[in-house]
Structure formats: C-alpha cells, structure tokens
Amino acid sequence: MQKKYAVKMPNKLKCKILRDSHNAKLFSLIIILVVIGEFLVLCGFAQAEDGYRLWLRYDLITEAEKLSAYKTAFIAINMEGNSPTLNTARKELSNGLAGLLGTRLAFVQAITKHGVIVVGTPQSSPMIAALNLQKKLHAAGEEGFIIHSMNANGKKCTVIAAQNDIGVLYGVFHFLRLLQTRQDINVLSIISTPKIKLRLLNHWDNLDGSVERGYAGTSLWDWHKLPDYISPRYKDYARANASIGINGTVLTNVNANAMVLTARYLEKVAALAEVFRPYGLKVYLTARFSAPVEIGGLPTADPLDAQVRAWWRHKADEIYRFIPDFGGFLVKANSEGQPGPQNYGRTHAEGANLLAEAVAPHGGVVMWRAFVYDNNMPEDRAKQAYNEFKPLDGKYRNNVLIQVKNGPIDFQPREPFHPLFGVMPRTPLMMEFQITQEYLGFATHLVYLAPLFKEVLDADTYAHGEGSLVANVIDGKLDQHTLSGIAGVSNIGDDRNWCGHPFAQANWFAFGRLAWDHRQTAEIIADDWLRMTFTNNEKFIAPAQSMLLASREITVNYMTPLGLHHLMGWSHHYGPGPWIDQGRADWTSVYYHRADSLGIGFNRSPSGSDAVGQYFFPVRQKFGDLATCPEPYLLWFHHVPWQHKMKSGRTLWEELCFKYYSGVDSVRAMRKTWETLAGMIDDERFSHVQALLKIQEQEAVWWRNACLLYFQTFSKLPIPQEYEKPDRTLEYYMQLKFPYAPGI
Amino acid sequence: MQKKYAVKMPNKLKCKILRDSHNAKLFSLIIILVVIGEFLVLCGFAQAEDGYRLWLRYDLITEAEKLSAYKTAFIAINMEGNSPTLNTARKELSNGLAGLLGTRLAFVQAITKHGVIVVGTPQSSPMIAALNLQKKLHAAGEEGFIIHSMNANGKKCTVIAAQNDIGVLYGVFHFLRLLQTRQDINVLSIISTPKIKLRLLNHWDNLDGSVERGYAGTSLWDWHKLPDYISPRYKDYARANASIGINGTVLTNVNANAMVLTARYLEKVAALAEVFRPYGLKVYLTARFSAPVEIGGLPTADPLDAQVRAWWRHKADEIYRFIPDFGGFLVKANSEGQPGPQNYGRTHAEGANLLAEAVAPHGGVVMWRAFVYDNNMPEDRAKQAYNEFKPLDGKYRNNVLIQVKNGPIDFQPREPFHPLFGVMPRTPLMMEFQITQEYLGFATHLVYLAPLFKEVLDADTYAHGEGSLVANVIDGKLDQHTLSGIAGVSNIGDDRNWCGHPFAQANWFAFGRLAWDHRQTAEIIADDWLRMTFTNNEKFIAPAQSMLLASREITVNYMTPLGLHHLMGWSHHYGPGPWIDQGRADWTSVYYHRADSLGIGFNRSPSGSDAVGQYFFPVRQKFGDLATCPEPYLLWFHHVPWQHKMKSGRTLWEELCFKYYSGVDSVRAMRKTWETLAGMIDDERFSHVQALLKIQEQEAVWWRNACLLYFQTFSKLPIPQEYEKPDRTLEYYMQLKFPYAPGI
C-alpha cells in the first residue's frame, strides 16, 4: 500500500500538471483517488474498512462508462420543502451523488436543462404537484414512492416522488441503490410500496447493556448516558434502517423489565425517538405484564381489575407525553416464566386487550407473542401455541396483532411453517423471524438467512385452498386485514461492524428488503447487498453470491439435517449437545430427536402427537405420511427406522452421515472459494471473513462428529468407510464446557 | 461542512491549475487538504473524529514555517536491520513523517546530504555502530534511547539510536512526538531511559467480557473468537502502549478465574502475546491461589504442600511453552474473599514464594498485592496492609514485588500516601494507581489524574530522612533495588474511543509517561497530550490545559473535600451515599466519615486508631496533630468539631459548604470555558465533551446537595445564605436506585 502511493503520487502530480492543465475534472479525480489512498495510509490508525458503513457506501464509481453515463443523466437536483425528513433525504441524495459521481450536483429552482432530478411530494414541491402524478402516487400508497424518467418543460428529468415525506426518503435510498449497483437509469418506471405496514426490529436488549442472544457486542443503547449523551450511532442506526424500509424498533427485551416504563427511562427513550423520527423509525417498548405491581404499587396486575386498567391507561398517557408517536407494546406473557393474564385466570385476549385499550386513544398497537408453552407441558411443545391461540380468534381488539415465530418450536435452522398461519382469519398475525443467529452459529458462521425467510413466506397453508401463502397471511391480503406486521429479532450490537460477522449485515439488509416486499428473491437481495457492501466486480459477485445462497442449507446439513432440531448445547446454545437430557424435558435434546435402537425422529403424525393435525388439508396429509413427507422435514414429523430407504437409495443412517459430512465439505469449499477472492476487496474485511470461515469449519466438524458419534450409540452402525474418521471421542465432546459463551 | 467543500473545491481546482501549474508541491497540498475534507464528507457514514486514533495522529502540519523547517531538516531515512520490532519502528517513522510532512521520505543507504535520519542499534546499523555512541547508549540503558543531532560524513543528521530494538521503537515515538508538538528539532540532545523496570497496565477484565470498574464498554479481549480471530484493535492497543513506554499488561482481573490458566485459554493468551511482542509489551496473568484445587484436581492449595508446589511448577512450564516471554503472575490473595495462603495458615510470603519459585526458572516475576484487609476487621482498615506486610520484609524471593495502592484505603479522590512506602527496604514495592475512574465520576467526569499521581510520587516518606520520596521507593533508588515496577488499573474498553470520555485518554497517556519518568510534570504531559490529540492552536491549548490541571481538585471539592473519603453509593460506587450504614462496616460510609453532633472525620491520631503511627517522623507528627495536619487531609486523620476554625477563618462546616459549592461552580466554569473552544477542534469530539460536561455538572450538584444535606443532619447548621439552596430533599437523594450502573 504505502510504497505504491509513495512512488506514484509525486510523478502523477507533476506530469499531469505539465500535460493537460485544462482537463481539470479528470485531473482532480486522479488526485482524489491517489490522495484518498495516501490519506488512508497516513492516518496512523488506518480508518480501515471495518464494515461500519454497512451497505451505505457511496464511493466513487470506477467504471468509466457507467460514471459518464450517470454524470450525463444527472446534472442537478430540484428539491423544495423543508421538513426534518425532507432535509434528511436532501442531504442523503446530495452526499450520495457527490460520493458516487465525484462531484456535488447543484440545486436548481427550475428545469432548464436535461438531467435534473426532481424530488418531493405534491405538498412540498410545486414541480411535483404540476407533473400530474396523482394516480401513480396513489398506487404507491402512504409510505411508497415512485421513481420515473419523464419530461418536464420538455426536458428529460428523473422524478423521485411520494405522497409523504418518508416516501421521498425511501425513494432517495432506492434511487441511490440503483447507482450503487450500477443499473441502467435512462428509462426508470418504478412504483414501490411496502406490502406490510409494521416492519420492525425486535431488540432483545436489557437495561444493563447485555443483549439476550446477541453476538455483536453489547446493546447500542447507552442507557446510563442517555438522555444527555447522544451517540452518533443512534442516527447511523436509524439511517441504515430507513435505507431498507424498516419503520419501527422495539428497544427492549421481550423478557421485559418494568423499569423502562418509569419516567427516568422514558426520558431516555424519548431522546432516542427524537433521533429516529426524521428517518420514519418509531420506537416501541416491551411491556412487563406485572408492571402495575412492580412499579405501580398495585396489589394485582389482573387485566380485569379496574385499578389495573386505569394504571395502564395513565401509563400510556404518560408515555405519549414523552413520545407523541410512540408505536406501542410488544408482550411476552405466560411463557418461559414471564408473568401474564393466566396468572389471574384470564386469557391472552383479555391480557392483550388491557394494553390495547390503553394505547388505542393514541393510535398505538399491541403485539402479543404467540410463543407460549406451558411449564408443565401437557402436550408436544410444537402444538401448544395453536391450542392456546386459535380459540381466541376474534376476541382481540382491532389494534392487537399476534406475533408468531416462523416455526412451531424456536428459530431452528429449519422448521416447517407455524400451524397458526391461516387458522386465525379474524386476527392480524405478525411474522417473527430471528435475524440474530442463536441457533445458526452465532456471529462466527456465514449463514445468509433470506432463503430461510423465503422458504417460510412462500409456504402454502392451503387456508383458503391452494395459493394461501404464509406471506399473504401476514401481509393481510388473505383475510383482508389493513393492519399487518413483520418483526426480525435484531443481530445488531455495538460491535464496530454492527453485526459481528461482516456477512451478518446481509441478514439485517435482507430482512428489511423482504419486509418491504416479500416477493423479492434471495438472489436479487444478495446481489444488491454484495455490490453495495463490497464491490461491483463480477469476478467477486458471482462466487460470493453462490456462497451466500448455499450457506443456509450447508448449515442445516452440519447441524440439524433431515428435520432434526433442538440439538444444541444447553442454555448458551453454543455448539452441539444432542445428549442433553437433564432439566425441563422440552428444553432437552432427547425430547426432540427421540433416538433409540429402532430409529430417530419425533413422531408428530396421527400415530404420534398428531401435530400434523394442526395443518390444513392437504398439508397435514403430506407431512403426516412417511411416504410423502418431504425429507427436509422427515425427522420433524416421524420416528424413522435407521434402515429406512431414502430417495437417494441410502439408508436413513447413511443419509444422516452423508448430510453431516457434505455439510462440512461445503464449508471447506466456501473457504477455498473465499481464498480465490483475495485482492478483490479490502484486506481488512477479507481477512476478517477468512478467520471466521476457519472457525466455522472447526465448528462444523465439531457438530458433525458430536452428533454422529452420539447417534451412533443408538444406530450401532458404522460411519461409512469413505468418510474421514472423527478425530475425537464422544466423551471428549460431551465434557466440553463453555461457561462464557456469548449471548446470554 | 458539505456546503463549504462543495463550493470551495471546484473553484480552487480550476483557478489553481490555470495559475501556477509548476508549483506542483503547494498545489498538491491544497488539493490534499480540500480532497481529504471532501472525502471525509463523502463517506456516507463519516469516518468521523471519534477518538480512535488517540494521541497517535500524524495529520499534515498546517503551520507553514514549521512545516518547511521540518522538511528541510528531514529529507531521508537511513535504517538497516530487519527484526519485527525494527520493522514496526520503520513503518511508524515512515508513516508518521509522511502524514506530518505530507510527503514520504525515501530510505537511503548512505549519508550523502544533510537531513538524513539515522535509526537503529549498533548491531542493526553499521552507520550507528560507526558513530561511536557507546557511552550515550550505555547511559540510555536496556530500554532507553538517544536522539541526537550530529554530523556524519560531514553531513548534519539526526540519530535515533538504542542498545536494543525496543529502544529504537521508543525513540521513534519520542521523535515523532517532537514534531506532533511542533518543537525545535535542530539541536537535539536527548538521552531517555525509563526509571522503572516494569511499567504495567492491570486489566480488571473477566472471561465473560465484563470489566470490573470498567466504564468504556466491555473487554478488548474477545476470548470467544481467540485465537482464530485477531481483532485489529489488539495491535492498535499494543502500539498505543509502546508509544508511551508501557511494557507489560496483566490481561485478567485480580478477582481471578483459574480457567485462564487452562490450555484452552493459554492458547488464546499466546495469540495476544504474539501480536503484542513486536511492541515490547509482555503479557501477565492473574493467578487464582486455589487453582491447584479448581483446575488441578488437588485436595489442597497449601503453599507448603509438595504436590501444590509441583503443580505450579508444571503449570508455569506449560505457560512458558505457550508464551516464552510470559511476564509472570499478579495475585490478590486473602482479600475481599479471594483465597490465599492464610486459608492454610501460611503467610503472604509463603504464598508469594510458591508462585515465584515456579516462574523463576523462566525469568518471571510475581506481583503480590498488599491490598488486604481482614473480613473481621480487628483494626482500622487503613492500618491493616502495613500490619500484615511490614513484618514479612526480607522474607520474599528476589523475583517477588509487593504491589501497593497509592493510598491506604482504595483509590479515593484524595488519600495520603500509603504508609508501607519506605518501611520494607528489603522488598521491591510496586505502585498501583487506578486509571479507571471508579471513585472519580466513571467515564462521564473530566478528571485529569496526573496531579493525583504526582502528589503521591512526590510525597516524602522520610524513610531515610528528608527527600525519601515515594517515587524513589518504587523506582528502587532509595533501597537499591534492581527490580522495580508500577501498575495502572486500566480505563480501556472496547468503546470506539478506548476510554469512554475523550479526556480519559489523557490518564492512560499520563500514566505511561510518568511510569517512564516520574520527574515529568503534569503540565508538560497535559500540554503534549492536548497537542497530539486535538490541535497545536494555542488558543485551545491554554484554556484546555488549565481545565485539565484544575479538574482533579475540582472533583475532590464536589465529592470528598478536606480529607473525607469513601462516601460513594454502595456496590456500584455511582454517585454519593454518605448515609450508607448497612452491611460490612468497613464497606459503609459512616465507618469513614464518623459524622456526629460534635463534628466529623476519622480520628487516626494517637488518640484514635493511631494510623499516623505507621508513618515516619516527622510525617506522623504533622498528620497526627490537628494544628499541623494539612487541611486536604484533615478529616482523614481527625474527628473535627463543626465549629473548628479553618485557615480561611471559616468554621469547618462553613469550609465544607464552601468546598462543595466551589466544586460545582468550577465545573460550571469548565463548561463555560469549553463553549469558548467551539470551532477550534472537530465538532464530533467537541460535542461529545460538551454533553459529558453537562452530565458532570448535574452529578457534581448531586454530590454537593446529597452530602451537605446529609451532614447537616449532624451539624444542625444552615447552608450559608449566599449559596443556592439544594433543589431536592435528602430523602429524594436517599431513595435513588441505580441497579444498572456500569462497571461491575
């Protein structure tokens, strides 16, 4: 690095100056490149590529043709209006283009030349108002936007317009993305509107700064120094969310602490809301159901108690005095020890309506989680949410959403879609995805989650016959709900690169993109993210994209293939623990894999727990019959003999070995692929990923060996000759202890 | 910002080019400045001035005269040799000069012109060997260096030389500092040698990533990802330490965890040692005395048990296989619940010698802490360390140091020097300072600690009569010890700016500088730090320096004036808690202030606990007599009537009020001063400090009101009319709870 610049710069300078002293532009660009490089080298501590900028990088476009094409197409900006959100959009557009094009576009009042970018709403911009875009803007909806190439005053211009200011900001980010990904921009005709109304991150952040299941440092929220010290990261966080259309954030853990509802903390929450507001990001809080007792001094939290109802109403009024646009409450009740209405013999509906009534006057919502299972487990845990919630359909206030995890257990590498989707037509159901990789290798495994998200969203519930997709349950289309929502459990912490693993940023990005429009493909989203985050060099994109797209299936293979689930280490969930058999039964592994001398798997068919009975026909039949059950879900629904013949012709045991070994082989292949990409991106992020892939391989081998050696004690069958022998004993793996694994 | 650059740049470029196309150098500089600015703006997320670079900033020198003077004086570098440390020094020098001078100096083989910088050791550099520097190099010692302006081959050159590679690196940092602080460099004649051999940071970092008394994020050590992932911060950390002469770091908390001594963790420690090695930074670990039982499976940890001795010997051998240059152990034993030799009826000496014997063959040392006090408190806590350790003088192996806190209690805003200094002539005593502000406002109060450090170092023990300074006890001079050491409890965490408060970096810097040479003044060190960290603009330096120098006394005034101590909140130590009277007596506040209707203060005179008796004559007399006791220590040594006349003519109560109120007023004055500095430094760090000063004022008022209202319940005297009335009641302050205060 240093040498390169040290030598080049002086020469370049001199000769350039002597030769083309009028070609100032080209000249300045070369200087910019050289000097920026030199500058980076000179900062004693390199302001290195540490991933902090996420996908919002506006570095100079290096492809000469593209650059000149863009610079011809865009010569100036016309943007009136002066709201916090419009000013934010203006700054973003100006900075973004200045970075990408290497020159800062002028702001013009009138359109007198080709190439003006016209930005705003009919209210903010006379120009927009005059362009007669009502129809298109109506189609774009409340938060949507249009980006159109059109003529104004006989001049070719590009219009970024929306009904509301926030749509303009979304449109600006979309427009900049077109340039970041080097797309053609001459004939643009984009109408973009979010399919889901509430697009939220759920932070499982505690008031002490720890993050439950967080693997990227501690909480972003510096409660101790709030409200007086406002970290610059708060704004950067809001900006990143706005760039992908996320419009809400739940700041606190679902295992809730009532203290956040006290005035001292509400003042801190208000300070965050203030920073987020221009970016269209609303704050929500988790409500601890017993708060009236813990901070209200009441003898009870019974939802039907008049004092309790009054307390919540006053608390809501107080919150809205601090935060006029407060979004509402997220609640985990009567689950895993959290208090709830059942403590008082009331239903989840009665509990949810208590809070809904309190926030309703202010336009707030209540998101009530369906992730519940009884401490005494009368039933297959997979069935309990359905059993508790289905009967309550129709009993909720209209500002209540039920937040359902993608699958019936708990964010496993692969689960069938949750049986609640489609069975509560009178209640808006929210999707809860987990972006943080609690069960997918923490922040050291490269796992792109868009394929997992898509697999669930595209699943067909058959609720109203074929084509009743999960996606249309949660976007409200299937049962005509105007209120709709989707939540992603955040993987964001105060690590410099936000998400720990440089590639984990892709999952934050993908969640936002899919929350906005679930029809987008995992491929497109991966392509966009790679180009925006690393480079447009096709030699990098193609192999990196195939790594991303394959990574989730690879992880399923080395962790929990063929429908296996919940095999991880106890409590911290780090690494494999198929042998876990102590403590609460449905927190053990043996409860789920049921391995014995005959076979392995959880019989949820009609001859077993009949969890399949919770699905609509014909899904229940397909899953319920060993012959028709898709092999990726086989051991989820069936207890299968070790000698069972699989479609591959292998026996179940052989197939299990095959999957675990191919999982490890694929990680090794990923490492090889990554090595070939050296030099195509910055060394810092390259070597960071390189180191993490090494850890991923070690842990994939750990998973494979530990699981196969353990299951072998039941199958009594050999690991086929062709595979490398495990280099450790089962006893070795079983005695490993990790008291300081992160994330709890 | 943007606008400024947006307007300026194009114009500058164009006109410049048309006018002086041959004046390439000046031109390139202007471009560099403009473009760097533009570049910073263009990075979507500003690579802002976030403090990450610490004092190691090599930005272009903007004072034209200085710049040209330096560029004339230094035109090339002559540096042979090729060790990791020399390569590090070469890169530092080249990058540093490239940044400061704006051009990268060439490396030359011979001295044919004036202005060559000649760098190396007699072994690495024939040039150095030929310059006949033996005497000077001998004077510089093992780790020291010389920087001399001299003639070689009749050419004026600057020599940076040392006996060993590490001295060269230290010399390079010192040389760069001369330029960073804009000093004259034409006639340099510097011989610098560290006065103390072991200059260590103590990290109170736990294996779960938490940092005891840490207020700057979590631990830098990512144990979970080590040894495979090496964070770039590890190198930056080592580099920062080398730049101020720190040569060792204890990675783990003195409240120790034996697990760090297991192979799995030693592999991680070795990976860190590998990164630190080129910077001359050795790693040390804390040894849990009961490790032989906890990880060794032995029935006892009795230091005289043969198996235990063998276990520690083998453990030491194992550690040195992982880390050949391992520094040794730091031990907290039989203190605050930590296990130790007394559990087996043995002495501290027998415990220390056990570990010393194990590391001796490898050249390791044992640092045994004197911070002990009995759980049953037979005695004034201030006296116990002396009572336990003095009798053991001479009983320690020669590779044992006793690490003594600066004062007899625990890092209070002001304590008299520890009575152990000077009374153990046959044992090397180490100084333990606390850099992290456990008792000085955490990371939200601006408190420059060099004056506190100096106050203790310059104190006269009279051990061998007048002039027996504490500094000469710990540097070994007073009793001719070759082994000497000083430790600072680190204030470093994974916060982006390392220390939380932008000004807290000054305390890390000052500790290193004083560890190297305790004769340096707090003023010079503050001046250097400000120039290196912020700017050489005199308009900024003068007021900022006076803030720094006054800040510690200001904090004493609003927290614990006139010798008061240990008044802080229980457990977390956040804020005032003079009313704390529950739990272990010597962990309460009332134990220390002893306020009653007659007066306030702890009688440690001969009529009281006679702690003064532990000091040499005449110190004991001066402290012991109410008439001669310096007022800053008054209530430390005496129980004083409320009506006692102070030197000011005020009564004690009036003086107490005066001190508390002037403390708050001074913080307000600091805030005002800071406001006048707006625009002289970057907005990011300016507004960060601005926000923290606001918090500091609020908390200073909190301390003042809480303490005076509480003490008033004893004095029954009014707060003088001229002062603003406390705006809250004592009851209000007493009910405040901070369950999530940081640092535990």
The mean pLDDT value for A443-450 works out to 98
Tokens for A226?
A: 């709030």
What residues of A are annotated to the active site? 336, 410, 438
Q: How far apart are CA B567 and CA B708, in angstroms?
A: 12
Top pLDDT among B11 and A105 is at A105
Cis peptide before B227 (omega within 30 of 0): yes
Residues of B in Cβ contact (< 8 Å) with A742 = 209, 224
- The residue type at B728: R
pLDDT for A374 equals 76
| pLDDT tens digit sequence for A520-556 | 999 999 999 999 999 999 999 999 999 999 999 999 9
Q: Is A229 on the interface with B (CB under 8 A)?
A: yes
The mean pLDDT value for A238-249 works out to 98
Q: How far apart are CA A194 and CA A399, in angstroms?
A: 20
Q: Within A191-262, where are the H helices?
A: 232-243
Q: How far apart are CA A68 and CA A60, in angstroms?
A: 12
Distance from CA of B198 to the nearest CA of A (A): 26
- The answer to whether the Cβ–Cβ distance between B10 and A43 falls below 8 Å is no
Query: Are B219 and B211 contacting, i.e. CB atoms less than 8 angstroms apart?
Result: yes
Distance from CA of B383 to the nearest CA of A (A): 36
Tokens for A653?
A: 């045991």
The string over B621-631, giving b where at least 16 C-beta atoms fall within 10 Å of a residue's C-beta and e elsewhere, is: ebbbebeebeb
pLDDT for B33 equals 43
Answer whether A198-529 and A557-602+639-734 agree in fold.
no
Neighbour-count burial of B671, counting CB atoms closer than 10 A to its CB (0-12 exposed, 13-18 middle, 19+ buried): middle
Q: Is B532 on the interface with A (CB under 8 A)?
A: no
Instruction: Name the residue in chain B with its Cα closest to that of A176.
Output: B44
Answer yes or no: is pLDDT of B142 > 50.
yes
Q: Is B6 on the interface with A (CB under 8 A)?
A: yes
pLDDT for A47 equals 54
- pLDDT interval class at A376 (50, 70, 90): confident
Q: How far apart are CA A499 and CA A386, in angstroms?
A: 33
Distance from CA of A17 to the nearest CA of B (A): 6
Q: How far apart are CA A223 and CA A221, in angstroms?
A: 6
**What is this structure's pTM?**
0.94
- ipTM, 2 dp: 0.92
**Least confidently predicted of A13-17, A654-658, B561-565:** A13-17
How far is the CA of A161 from the CAs of A75, A92, A167, B141, in angstroms?
Answer: 18, 15, 7, 72
pLDDT for B27 equals 44
Three-state secondary-structure class, residue B147? strand
Query: For the domain bounded by B198-529, which CATH number is listed?
Result: 3.20.20.80
- pLDDT interval class at A10 (50, 70, 90): very low
Q: Chain A interface, mutation test: which of B22, B28, B445, B694, most A Cβ atoms within 10 Å?
A: B28
Query: Are B371 and B385 contacting, i.e. CB atoms less than 8 angstroms apart?
Result: yes
Top pLDDT among B2 and A476 is at A476
How far is the CA of B692 from the CAs of A68, B47, B217, B314, in angstroms?
Answer: 47, 22, 16, 50
Q: Measured between alpha carbons, how far apart are the two ends of chain B, in Å?
A: 41
pLDDT for A59 equals 97
| pLDDT tens digit sequence for B693-740 | 999 999 999 999 999 999 999 999 999 999 999 999 999 999 999 999
Q: How far apart are CA A326 and CA B457, in angstroms?
A: 55
Answer yes or no: is pLDDT of A435 > 70.
yes
Q: Which residue has the tokens 């499976």?
A: B297
- pLDDT interval class at A709 (50, 70, 90): very high
What are the backbone dihedrals phi and psi of residue B113, each rounded to the nearest 5 degrees, phi first? Answer: -135, 165
The mean pLDDT value for B19-36 works out to 44
Distance from CA of A698 to the nearest CA of B (A): 10
Tokens for B594?
A: 């002893």
Three-state secondary-structure class, residue A541? helix
Work out the number of other CB atoms within 10 angstroms of the CB of residue B420. 23
pLDDT for B373 equals 83
- pLDDT interval class at B744 (50, 70, 90): confident
pLDDT for A6 equals 31
Average pLDDT, chain B: 94
**Least confidently predicted of B16-25, B479-488, B640-649:** B16-25
Window B:658-687, CB contacts with A under 8 Å: 684
CATH level 3 topology of B557-602+639-734: Alpha-d-glucuronidase, C-terminal Domain (3.90.1330)
**Least confidently predicted of B4-18, B282-296, B459-473, B615-629:** B4-18
Query: Are B533 and B505 contacting, i.e. CB atoms less than 8 angstroms apart?
Result: yes
| pLDDT tens digit sequence for B592-606 | 999 999 999 999 999
pLDDT for A3 equals 33
pLDDT for A24 equals 46
The mean pLDDT value for B676-688 works out to 98
| pLDDT tens digit sequence for A122-141 | 999 999 999 999 999 999 99
pLDDT for B136 equals 97
Strand partners, A76: A106, A116
- Within 8 A by CB and 6+ apart from A310, the residues are none
| pLDDT tens digit sequence for A103-121 | 999 999 999 999 999 999 9
Answer yes or no: is pLDDT of A615 > 70.
yes
A54, A217, A229: residue with CB nearest B494:
A217
pLDDT for B428 equals 98
| Domain range annotation of chain B | 64-192, 198-529, 557-602+639-734
Give percent of chain B above pLDDT 70. 93
- pLDDT interval class at A98 (50, 70, 90): very high
Q: How far apart are CA A161 and CA A119, in angstroms?
A: 6
How far is the CA of A603 from the CAs of A568, A611, A624, A626, in angstroms?
Answer: 20, 9, 9, 10
The mean pLDDT value for A31-38 works out to 44
Q: Is A28 on the interface with B (CB under 8 A)?
A: yes
Answer yes or no: is pLDDT of B384 > 70.
yes
CATH code matching the domain that covers B64-192, chosen among 1.10.150.80, 3.40.50.300, 3.40.50.970, 3.30.379.10: 3.30.379.10
Tokens for B415?
A: 């304590």
Top pLDDT among B83 and B22 is at B83
Query: Are B351 and B306 contacting, i.e. CB atoms less than 8 angstroms apart?
Result: no
Tokens for A552?
A: 């989730």
Q: Is B695 on the interface with A (CB under 8 A)?
A: yes
CA B140 to chain centre: 24
Average pLDDT, chain A: 94
Query: Are A423 and A433 contacting, i.e. CB atoms less than 8 angstroms apart?
Result: no
The mean pLDDT value for A622-639 works out to 98
- pLDDT interval class at B47 (50, 70, 90): low
Query: Are A199 and A512 contacting, i.e. CB atoms less than 8 angstroms apart?
Result: yes
Instruction: Give yes or no: B438 in active site.
Output: yes
Three-state secondary-structure class, residue A400? strand
Q: How far apart are CA B557 and CA A613, in angstroms?
A: 73
Window A:49-78, CB contacts with B under 8 Å: 50, 52-54, 56-59
Answer yes or no: is pLDDT of B16 > 90.
no
Residues of A in Cβ contact (< 8 Å) with B44 = 53, 56-58, 95-96, 99
- pLDDT interval class at A48 (50, 70, 90): confident
The mean pLDDT value for A415-430 works out to 98
Q: What secondary structure letter does DSSP report for B465?
A: B
Tokens for A36?
A: 């920026």
